Amino acid sequence: MSRAKLSISCSEPSRRLIVLACLSLAGCGFRPLYDDRPRGQGLAPAQALAATRVATIPDRQGQILRNAIVQRLGNDFRVAPRHELRVALTLRRELVGVRRDETASRQRVNATADFTLHPLPAGDPVFSGRAYAVDAFNITPNEFFAAQLSGEAAEARVAERLAEDIVAQIAAFYARGTGRT
Protein backbone atom coordinates (compact mmCIF):
# COMPACT_ATOMS: atom_id res chain seq x y z
CA MET A 1 0.00 0.00 0.00
CA SER A 2 1.18 3.47 -0.74
CA ARG A 3 0.28 6.53 1.18
CA ALA A 4 -1.46 9.18 -0.80
CA LYS A 5 -0.57 12.78 -0.10
CA LEU A 6 -3.38 14.93 1.10
CA SER A 7 -3.40 18.16 -0.78
CA ILE A 8 -5.81 20.98 -0.33
CA SER A 9 -5.86 23.45 -3.13
CA CYS A 10 -7.99 26.42 -3.73
CA SER A 11 -8.73 27.86 -7.13
CA GLU A 12 -8.27 31.55 -7.80
CA PRO A 13 -12.03 32.33 -7.90
CA SER A 14 -12.47 30.53 -4.55
CA ARG A 15 -9.67 32.56 -2.97
CA ARG A 16 -11.28 35.77 -4.17
CA LEU A 17 -14.63 34.70 -2.76
CA ILE A 18 -13.07 33.96 0.63
CA VAL A 19 -11.28 37.30 0.73
CA LEU A 20 -14.46 39.17 -0.25
CA ALA A 21 -16.44 37.35 2.44
CA CYS A 22 -13.88 38.30 5.09
CA LEU A 23 -13.80 41.93 3.96
CA SER A 24 -17.59 42.21 3.91
CA LEU A 25 -17.79 40.77 7.44
CA ALA A 26 -15.22 43.29 8.65
CA GLY A 27 -17.03 46.13 6.90
CA CYS A 28 -20.43 45.45 8.45
CA GLY A 29 -19.30 46.44 11.94
CA PHE A 30 -19.09 42.91 13.31
CA ARG A 31 -17.31 42.78 16.66
CA PRO A 32 -17.01 39.82 19.01
CA LEU A 33 -19.34 40.05 22.00
CA TYR A 34 -16.60 39.47 24.55
CA ASP A 35 -14.10 41.80 22.85
CA ASP A 36 -11.88 43.50 25.42
CA ARG A 37 -11.57 46.78 23.53
CA PRO A 38 -13.74 49.70 24.75
CA ARG A 39 -16.68 50.84 22.64
CA GLY A 40 -17.46 54.51 22.59
CA GLN A 41 -17.48 56.11 26.04
CA GLY A 42 -18.02 52.98 28.16
CA LEU A 43 -16.07 49.88 29.08
CA ALA A 44 -15.63 46.92 26.78
CA PRO A 45 -18.25 44.22 27.41
CA ALA A 46 -15.66 41.86 28.93
CA GLN A 47 -14.46 44.61 31.29
CA ALA A 48 -18.03 45.58 32.21
CA LEU A 49 -18.86 41.94 32.98
CA ALA A 50 -15.78 41.69 35.19
CA ALA A 51 -16.93 44.83 37.04
CA THR A 52 -20.37 43.38 37.82
CA ARG A 53 -20.98 42.20 41.38
CA VAL A 54 -23.50 39.42 42.06
CA ALA A 55 -25.71 39.80 45.13
CA THR A 56 -26.34 36.83 47.40
CA ILE A 57 -29.07 34.47 46.17
CA PRO A 58 -30.90 32.62 48.98
CA ASP A 59 -30.82 28.83 49.54
CA ARG A 60 -28.37 26.17 48.38
CA GLN A 61 -29.54 26.24 44.76
CA GLY A 62 -29.10 30.02 44.81
CA GLN A 63 -25.51 29.60 45.98
CA ILE A 64 -24.82 27.19 43.13
CA LEU A 65 -26.35 29.63 40.62
CA ARG A 66 -24.43 32.58 42.06
CA ASN A 67 -21.12 30.70 41.82
CA ALA A 68 -21.85 29.74 38.20
CA ILE A 69 -22.65 33.38 37.31
CA VAL A 70 -19.53 34.73 39.07
CA GLN A 71 -17.38 32.21 37.20
CA ARG A 72 -18.83 33.26 33.83
CA LEU A 73 -18.58 36.98 34.56
CA GLY A 74 -14.85 36.67 35.15
CA ASN A 75 -15.07 38.95 38.17
CA ASP A 76 -11.90 40.93 38.75
CA PHE A 77 -11.87 41.85 42.43
CA ARG A 78 -9.16 44.45 41.80
CA VAL A 79 -11.68 46.50 39.80
CA ALA A 80 -14.35 48.51 41.59
CA PRO A 81 -17.78 47.10 40.74
CA ARG A 82 -20.00 49.32 38.61
CA HIS A 83 -23.20 47.26 38.68
CA GLU A 84 -24.85 44.76 40.98
CA LEU A 85 -26.79 41.81 39.64
CA ARG A 86 -29.77 40.74 41.74
CA VAL A 87 -31.39 37.39 40.99
CA ALA A 88 -34.66 35.88 42.25
CA LEU A 89 -34.65 32.12 41.67
CA THR A 90 -37.75 29.93 41.53
CA LEU A 91 -37.19 26.18 41.42
CA ARG A 92 -40.01 23.68 41.01
CA ARG A 93 -39.98 19.89 40.72
CA GLU A 94 -42.82 17.96 39.15
CA LEU A 95 -43.51 14.31 38.50
CA VAL A 96 -43.80 13.52 34.80
CA GLY A 97 -43.82 9.73 34.80
CA VAL A 98 -45.93 7.38 36.89
CA ARG A 99 -45.65 3.60 37.03
CA ARG A 100 -48.57 1.19 37.31
CA ASP A 101 -48.07 1.00 41.06
CA GLU A 102 -48.53 4.80 41.17
CA THR A 103 -44.92 5.60 42.05
CA ALA A 104 -42.97 8.25 40.19
CA SER A 105 -40.58 7.16 37.44
CA ARG A 106 -39.34 10.55 36.25
CA GLN A 107 -39.10 14.01 37.68
CA ARG A 108 -38.65 17.36 35.94
CA VAL A 109 -36.84 20.36 37.40
CA ASN A 110 -38.17 23.74 36.20
CA ALA A 111 -36.22 26.87 37.07
CA THR A 112 -36.90 30.55 36.46
CA ALA A 113 -34.48 33.33 37.30
CA ASP A 114 -35.71 36.92 37.23
CA PHE A 115 -32.78 39.33 37.38
CA THR A 116 -32.09 43.05 37.50
CA LEU A 117 -28.90 45.01 37.01
CA HIS A 118 -28.50 48.01 39.31
CA PRO A 119 -25.84 50.72 39.03
CA LEU A 120 -23.62 51.15 42.09
CA PRO A 121 -23.64 52.71 44.62
CA ALA A 122 -27.41 53.14 44.17
CA GLY A 123 -30.01 53.67 41.52
CA ASP A 124 -32.93 52.26 39.62
CA PRO A 125 -32.40 49.08 37.57
CA VAL A 126 -30.82 49.71 34.17
CA PHE A 127 -31.59 46.25 32.79
CA SER A 128 -33.81 43.35 33.73
CA GLY A 129 -34.53 39.97 32.26
CA ARG A 130 -35.66 36.42 32.81
CA ALA A 131 -33.99 33.09 32.17
CA TYR A 132 -35.59 29.64 32.04
CA ALA A 133 -34.12 26.16 32.25
CA VAL A 134 -35.60 22.67 32.42
CA ASP A 135 -34.01 19.30 33.12
CA ALA A 136 -35.29 15.87 34.11
CA PHE A 137 -34.05 12.66 35.67
CA ASN A 138 -35.24 9.09 36.11
CA ILE A 139 -36.23 7.68 39.48
CA THR A 140 -35.20 4.05 39.77
CA PRO A 141 -37.37 1.94 42.11
CA ASN A 142 -35.81 1.30 45.54
CA GLU A 143 -32.75 3.42 44.65
CA PHE A 144 -33.40 6.41 46.89
CA PHE A 145 -29.78 7.55 47.14
CA ALA A 146 -29.37 7.38 43.35
CA ALA A 147 -32.58 9.39 42.90
CA GLN A 148 -31.31 12.03 45.33
CA LEU A 149 -27.98 12.32 43.48
CA SER A 150 -29.75 12.46 40.12
CA GLY A 151 -31.98 15.26 41.40
CA GLU A 152 -29.00 17.26 42.66
CA ALA A 153 -27.19 16.75 39.34
CA ALA A 154 -30.26 17.96 37.43
CA GLU A 155 -30.45 21.07 39.64
CA ALA A 156 -26.74 21.75 39.00
CA ARG A 157 -27.27 21.46 35.22
CA VAL A 158 -30.23 23.84 35.47
CA ALA A 159 -28.08 26.36 37.38
CA GLU A 160 -25.36 26.16 34.70
CA ARG A 161 -27.88 26.82 31.93
CA LEU A 162 -29.43 29.73 33.82
CA ALA A 163 -25.99 31.25 34.43
CA GLU A 164 -25.09 31.00 30.75
CA ASP A 165 -28.35 32.65 29.71
CA ILE A 166 -28.14 35.43 32.30
CA VAL A 167 -24.53 36.33 31.46
CA ALA A 168 -25.27 36.24 27.71
CA GLN A 169 -28.18 38.67 28.17
CA ILE A 170 -26.06 41.01 30.31
CA ALA A 171 -23.16 40.82 27.85
CA ALA A 172 -25.52 41.78 25.01
CA PHE A 173 -26.76 44.70 27.12
CA TYR A 174 -23.18 45.90 27.70
CA ALA A 175 -22.28 45.34 24.02
CA ARG A 176 -25.10 47.65 22.94
CA GLY A 177 -23.31 50.35 24.90
CA THR A 178 -26.28 51.09 27.12
CA GLY A 179 -24.52 49.97 30.30
CA ARG A 180 -22.56 53.20 30.83
CA THR A 181 -22.75 54.74 34.26
Domain ranges (residues) in the chain? 42-175
Contact of 179 with 126, CB cutoff 8 Å = yes
CA distances (Å), origin 92, targets 56, 86, 109:
20, 20, 6
Half-sphere exposure of 40 (CA within 13 A, CB side): 11
Least confident of 40-49, 59-68, 90-99: 40-49
Tally of CB atoms within 10 A around 156 = 16
**Is residue 170 over pLDDT 80?**
yes
- Start-to-end CA distance of the chain, whole Å, equals 68
CA atoms of 111 and 108, how far apart (whole Å)? 10
- For the chain, give the percent of residues with pLDDT over 70: 76
Least confident of 35-49, 85-99, 134-148, 167-181: 35-49
CATH tag, 42-175: 3.30.160.150
Least confident of 39-43, 47-51, 62-66: 39-43
Contact of 119 with 154, CB cutoff 8 Å = no
pTM: 0.72
Q: What is the mean pLDDT of the chain?
A: 79
